[in-house]
Structure 1
Amino acid sequence: MKNSDQSDFIIGRHPVVSALRGKQEINKVFLQNGIKKDEKSISEIIKLAKQKRLVISVVPKQKLDLLSDNQNHQGVVLSVSPYNYASLEDIFENAKKREEAPFFLILDNIEDPHNLGSIIRTADASGVNGVIIPKHRAVGITSTVAKTSAGAIERVPVVRVTNLINTVKYLKENGVWIFGTDMNGTDYRKWDGKGASAIVIGNEGKGISPLLKKNVDQMLTIPMVGELQSLNASVAASLLMYQGYSSRHPL
């Protein structure tokens, strides 16, 4: 979903149900002509749409293909208002409401919307209080991100900032320790994430930018024995988020 003055679209049954249950402003529901309305997911979509008094338009598959840019829409598309990004204050408040130390994720120029969607989905599962992304040279919340997140963007606040370095300094001033990821660092399995923490995940190809790396309190590394000494950004983020979860919820 684009942060612009124009509508964007949420596609796929699970993301649509999550959006209809959430608080985002929705303009219209599009259903594919001939779809079985007695199917559980479709009947739930119709029920939720009627509860919100939304307009439901039954349209040909070609129309949905056009709206979804030929992605797998599963016969349903929502027209929504631009994504409402959260503020840094919002994610601190999110942690306060849960009565837990802040646990944030900072994404340094992630470019692949599928990676961002997967990361947000895992952030929801592992109890992350908020995800921070930069405004420039990085993917924002798009329909692909929304679909890949399987509805998690309705539950995990995403903050979009102009300057990641200034944001890191602000977090530090508010008692948050910043942990980066690098080939050289402390084994991530030794990391205790019980305190107020933020994990920085670098760009898919370049890693964490040099200036941002200078502002990190501690570097964590993920040991590997294979020939490829790197992991997909979403996989690396998942391992670190669950180490944080393990610290906070020990067996």
Structure 2
Amino acid sequence: MPGNSERRNRRTTQKKGPQIGSGGQRRRGLKGKGPTPPAEARTGHPKKRAAELRARKDAGRKAAARRGGTSPSELVVGRNPVVEALRGGVPAATLYVQQFLESDDRVTDAVKLAMERGDVHLLEAPRPELDRITGGLNHQGLVLQVPPYEYAHPDDLTDAAADVGQEPLIVALDGVTDPRNLGAVVRSASAFGGHGVVVPERRAAGMTAGAWKTSAGTAARTPVARATNLTRTLKSYQKAGLTVVGLAADGEMELGDVDALGGPVVIVVGSEGKGLSRLVGETCDIRARIPMPGGAESLNAGVAAGIVLYEAARRR
């Protein structure tokens, strides 16, 4: 009869709800698990792996900054860029060549140039390893590792001038973000007797492989210093007796009238689009303009710095 069965756990009542042996599983099953976490927080998701990679790179950059003026190492990727970097005298630590790579003239030239230097390590690596170290970029079987650049301290530039008995001639870049412009300025500073170039630590171009290549090897003998705060660095130079001359399209003086270029001076060059930032412009002792009778509105940083450095060298 119903209700008289002796089988275990047989329902003997019409009352609903958890019964003996359920452990409240039905009640727990009604609870939600909350909102779906973002992709960056899901284990194994590609976005999470990308976020972790960015975090590791940021940690590496911060650690390099704490060590004092050292940039992280850089990778030059692809057959043409690698060959051009080696021909341009860009410092290199290691040339990675993919195993079982179908060779062409560029691969042959890259290996030959690396061997001729004598200080570049040659390593064969499987394609998956090159994919990993380049983050999946199209490396074409060639990857060149550029060692970290050792930045000078801004005070080292004035010390270098004092060591040779000369009055300092320094170029400071404000908001210049193109490494090729930085390389061109370094080359001009080397050509006209400059004692170095100062760049801000943030929001500015650094000594990358592109800057090295544009400098045509002069970066090896003309130091580049990195300033934590450019305005404070310029004020420090002023206290040391240097005149700070900023280039501006609306400058109060024409370049030819600036007698300060013949003495201890810091030439400040801004970006082609924005010019000098407000604080840097207010810090300058003199704001000079380059006369351009041809009607051009502006010059890029590399060309402008070259003109002013020539004028300073002529006066000296």
RMSD (CA atoms): 3.3
Number of the residue aligned with 1:246: 314
Number of the residue aligned with 1:19: 91
Q: Give % identity.
A: 32
SS in 1 for 2:190: helix
Number of the residue aligned with 2:258: 191
Instruction: Give the superposition deviation at 1:44.
Output: 6.9
C-alpha contact (below 8 Å) 2:272/2:298 kept by paired residues: no
Are 2:208 and 1:139 aligned? no
Output the amino acid matched with 2:256. Answer: R
Output the amino acid matched with 2:176. Answer: I
Larger deviation, residues 103-112 vs 228-237 = 228-237
2:108 and 2:209 mapped to 1: Cα distance?
Answer: 26
Instruction: Give the superposition deviation at 1:109.
Output: 0.8
Are 2:188 and 1:122 aligned? yes
What does residue range 10-159 of structure 1 map to in structure 2 within 5 Å?
11=82, 12-15=85-88, 17=89, 19=91, 26=93, 28-29=94-95, 33=103, 35=105, 45-49=114-118, 52=119, 54-57=120-123, 78-159=144-225
Number of the residue aligned with 1:182: 248
Residues 173-214 of structure 1, C-alpha deviation per residue, up to 9 Å, x if partnerless? Answer: 111111011233222123342211100101221111122111
Residues 148-190 of structure 1, C-alpha deviation per residue, up to 9 Å, x if partnerless? Answer: 2222222211111121111111001111111011233222123
SS in 1 for 2:122: strand
1:144 and 1:45 mapped to 2: Cα distance?
Answer: 18
SS in 2 for 1:19: coil
Q: How has the CA–CA distance of structure 1 residues 108 and 97 changed in structure 2, closer, same or farther, with 3 Å as cutoff?
A: same
Larger deviation, residues 167-176 vs 79-88 = 79-88
SS in 1 for 2:225: strand
Q: How has the CA–CA distance of structure 1 residues 34 and 57 changed in structure 2, closer, same or farther, with 3 Å as cutoff?
A: farther
1:120 and 1:113 mapped to 2: Cα distance?
Answer: 11
Output the amino acid matched with 1:94. Answer: A
Output the amino acid matched with 2:286. Answer: Q
Q: How has the CA–CA distance of structure 1 residues 70 and 106 changed in structure 2, closer, same or farther, with 3 Å as cutoff?
A: farther
Residues 119-142 of structure 1, C-alpha deviation per residue, up to 9 Å, x if partnerless? Answer: 111111111111111112222222
SS in 2 for 1:159: strand
C-alpha contact (below 8 Å) 2:91/2:147 kept by paired residues: no
Output the amino acid matched with 1:172. Answer: Q
- TM-score of the superposed pair, with normalisation by structure 1: 0.77
1:36 and 1:214 mapped to 2: Cα distance?
Answer: 50
What does residue range 188-227 of structure 1 map to in structure 2 within 5 Å?
188-192=255-259, 193-227=261-295
| Paired residue total | 231
SS in 2 for 1:141: coil
Q: Which runs of 5 or more structure 1 residues have no equivalent in the other structure?
A: 21-25
1:36 and 1:133 mapped to 2: Cα distance?
Answer: 34
SS in 2 for 1:116: helix
Number of the residue aligned with 1:234: 302
- Bigger RCO of structures 1 and 2 (CA < 8 A, at least 6 apart): 1
Instruction: Give the superposition deviation at 1:147.
Output: 1.6
